[in-house]
Every structure is written in structure tokens, then in C-alpha cells.
Amino acid sequence: MEKDKIKVYILEFIICIIFFFTLFVSSTYLRTITAVLLVVSFFVIKKLLHKRNIVSVYNKQATMLLMLLGIVFLLIFYALGIYFGYTNSVVKLSLSSLIKIIIPTTVIVIVSEMLRSILLAEKSLLSKILTTICMVLMDLTIYTSINQLKTFDGLVNAISFSLVASISGNLLWNYSSIRFGYKPAIVFRLIMTLYEYIIPVTPNVFTYFRSFLRMIYPYIIYLILEMLYSKNNFTVAVQDKKKNNIITGILLAIMVLFIMLISCEFKYGLIVIATGSMKGTIDVGDAVVYESYEGQNIKEQQVIIFEKDNVNVVHRVIDIKQVNGVNRYYTKGDANKLSDSGFVTPEKIVGIVKFKVKYIGYPTIMLREMF
């Protein structure tokens, strides 16, 4: 038994190393390469471990349920397009995309879940951790590339949209694989992965909100599966359940609020201060919450955010003049000796600062300086 565990750990570690380095392959055939390596790994491990796949009496029910939940997610996601609008899918359905993307992605999803089912048969904590790392690395080959990691925005997108969401999803698939086998996860993941390659349009939803949906939906599915199929012999006090629900609700509300602020797609937005031009009033590393500008009356001494040379600037209005019926706003940083050159017109104004939050922007600044 102990030898089997060590064998599983070694194999999982080797797979993690292989797929980590696969991420650094800059090729249009990256997914094909990943799919081939995964199929080879699967047959080698299946032969070495001789593990039987997990079979559950609820397999068919769970498969149908996850298929339904996948369709529901797409309906909700595409309904958001009514508000955000729609855009053409990045990858169009063609023979080339079928060979280079759709077929390899399908193979990756199916074989990775079959492999997960074998690896998790060991049921040890270390095995679960190593399996999760392996599967996350495989996910990253689907949702990101090494070229994206070369820029700050690409890194943020990879971390928020791919990495964090992938971890959330893989925790669910670990649970689903152990309880119901690999089929339910395969069906759901194929629906969630292939839609953007098959459907010609996609909602123009900003990355942070898509990331939030991909993070929170697996947790919702977990709660549904637990509610329907849990066979726990113990009961939790009603008071404890209510307390847990309240805490979960508060955390979700905070997450939703934060996503809304950093997306800057709603009435209020959030921006991190990276320079010292407002030092003393707003320092480097602070973040300011602002109200989006929609023609509101702006007065002298208000701090506004405006666009200048494709950069958002946070400075104070020191003078207002009207020329030919159009307001011209003259601005200055509180820590600057001289006022800003030129003036700001209404179409360049992004928003009006409402208040600041100290220090929370430092991690963003540190990451940006690295790039």
C-alpha cells in the first residue's frame, strides 16, 4: 500500500513538471502537444497503477444535473450580453480551429478527467494537492499562453481569469470525481469550454466579472450536489448553518462590490494611485473610489480623474473657464509646484473622486513595477 502511494506521488510530480514546461512552449499547436502528452501519460499511469475507476449509483443523475447546470450558466452568461453587448468570438469555427483548438481541447478535458479519477483513487491529501496542481496547469494551456505572461495586463488576466478560477473549478472536479466518477465533470467542462469556439458571438463581459462567475459557480454547484446527494450521518445545528450562510453571504457581497469597482463598468469605479503628484492628500499605494462622470456639475477644488496621453490622472480642479459654451477645467496635483499644462475638456473626464482607501493598491504597484 505504501509503495502504491509513493508511486502515485512520483507520477503526479512528474506530470506537474511536464505540463509546467509545456506552458512555455510558444506554438499554435500547444494544445495538440498537451493533448498528446496527456494521452501518453494517461495510458502509462493506468498501466502502472492498475486503479479501477470510481463508480457511483448517482453517476447518471449527477451527469444530467451538471449538464443542466452548464446550460443554465450559458443562458445566464449570454443574458448578460443584453446589458454589456455582444462581440464576435475570438476563435471562429473552421476546419483550422477544429484541428488546432476544438479537438485537442476536447481530448484534454476528457482524458484529464479520466486521469483525475485514477489519481484520486488514492484519496490522500497530498495526492489531492498534486492532482489539483496538475489539472490547473492543464487548464492554463487552454485559457492562457506564455505570450500573455510577458505583459502586466496579461499576467493579471492569467491570474484572475485563468489561475484562480481554475483552482476553484478543480476543487469541485476533485469532489465530483471522488463522489460520482469522471463523467459528470467531463460533460460540464465540455459545455463550459467549447461554447466560445462554437457559438459565433460572446457577451462583451469584462474579464474581472467573467473571472468572478467562473470562481463562484463551482461553489454553487458544490452546494447543490451536497444538498441533493450528501449522506453525512451527522447534523449541523440550525444556528451554525445560519451563521455560515450569513458569513458566506457577506463574503460574496464584498467580492461582488470589489469586482464592480475594479471593473470600472458601473457608476462607481476604483483606481490605484501610482505617483506622488497628490502626496499629502492621496499617497502612492492608496486607491480612490470615484463616481463615473456623466455630465455632473464640477466645482473648483474637487478632485477629478481625467485622461491625458492615454493615462488616467488624478488631480484637483483649480480653475474653470467657459469658452464658446464649453467648460475648460484647469488642474494641478496638490504636491506639484506648477499647475498642469493645458486644460481638460468634459469628454476627457473619467470621474469625480469620492473617497480614498489607504494602502490597498501596493500589491498592484509592485506587480506593475516588475513589468
* Confidence label for 106 from pLDDT (cuts 50, 70 and 90): very high
CB 212 within 8 A of CB 255: yes
Q: What percent of the chain is predicted at pLDDT more than 90?
A: 24
pTM over 0.95: no
Q: Model confidence at 314, in pLDDT bands (50, 70, 90)?
A: very high
pLDDT tens for each residue of 89-99: 877 778 888 88
Residue 332 has pLDDT above 90, yes or no: yes
User: Which of 52-61, 151-160, 227-236 has maximum average pLDDT?
Assistant: 52-61
Give DSSP secondary structure letters for 66-97.
Answer: HHHHHHHHHHHHHHTHHHH-EEE-SS--SHHH
For residue 157, what pLDDT is reported? 58
- In sequence order, the 6+-apart residues with CB closer than 8 A to the CB of 35 are 103, 104, 105, 107, 108, 111
Q: How many residues does the chain have?
A: 371
More confident residue, 146 or 281: 281
Q: Name which of 299, 275, 301, 303 is nearest 290 in CA terms.
A: 303
pLDDT at 214 over 90: no
Is the per-residue pLDDT at 348 higher than 90? yes
Torsion, CA 321, CA 322, CA 324, CA 326, rounded to 10: 110
332 vs 193: CA distance, rounded Å: 49
Q: Are 338 and 332 in contact (CB under 8 A)?
A: yes
Phi, psi of 366 (to 5 degrees): -65, -40
With beta carbons less than 8 A apart as the criterion, state whether 151 and 25 touch: no
| Residue with grid cell 487552454, as numbered in its chain | 142
Is residue 243 within 8 A of residue 302, CB to CB? The reply is no
**Nearest Cα to 42, choosing from 62, 18, 24?**
18
Output the CA torsion sign for 100, 196, 131, 255.
positive
Integer angstrom CA distances of residue 147 from 137, 151, 255, 277: 16, 8, 29, 34
Residue 4 has pLDDT above 70, yes or no: no
| Side chain identity, residue 330 | Y
Q: How far apart are CA 271 and CA 364, in angstroms?
A: 10
pLDDT tens string 252-275: 566 556 555 555 666 788 888 888
> What are the chain's domains?
2-231 (no CATH), 268-370 (2.10.109.10)
Helices (H) and strands (E) in the chain, counts: 13, 8
Q: What is the mean pLDDT of the chain?
A: 80
State the average pLDDT over residues 213-225: 84
Decide if pLDDT at 84 tops 90: no
> pLDDT value at position 236?
43
- Residue-level pLDDT at 8: 75
Could you give the 3-state DSSP secondary structure of residue 316?
Answer: strand
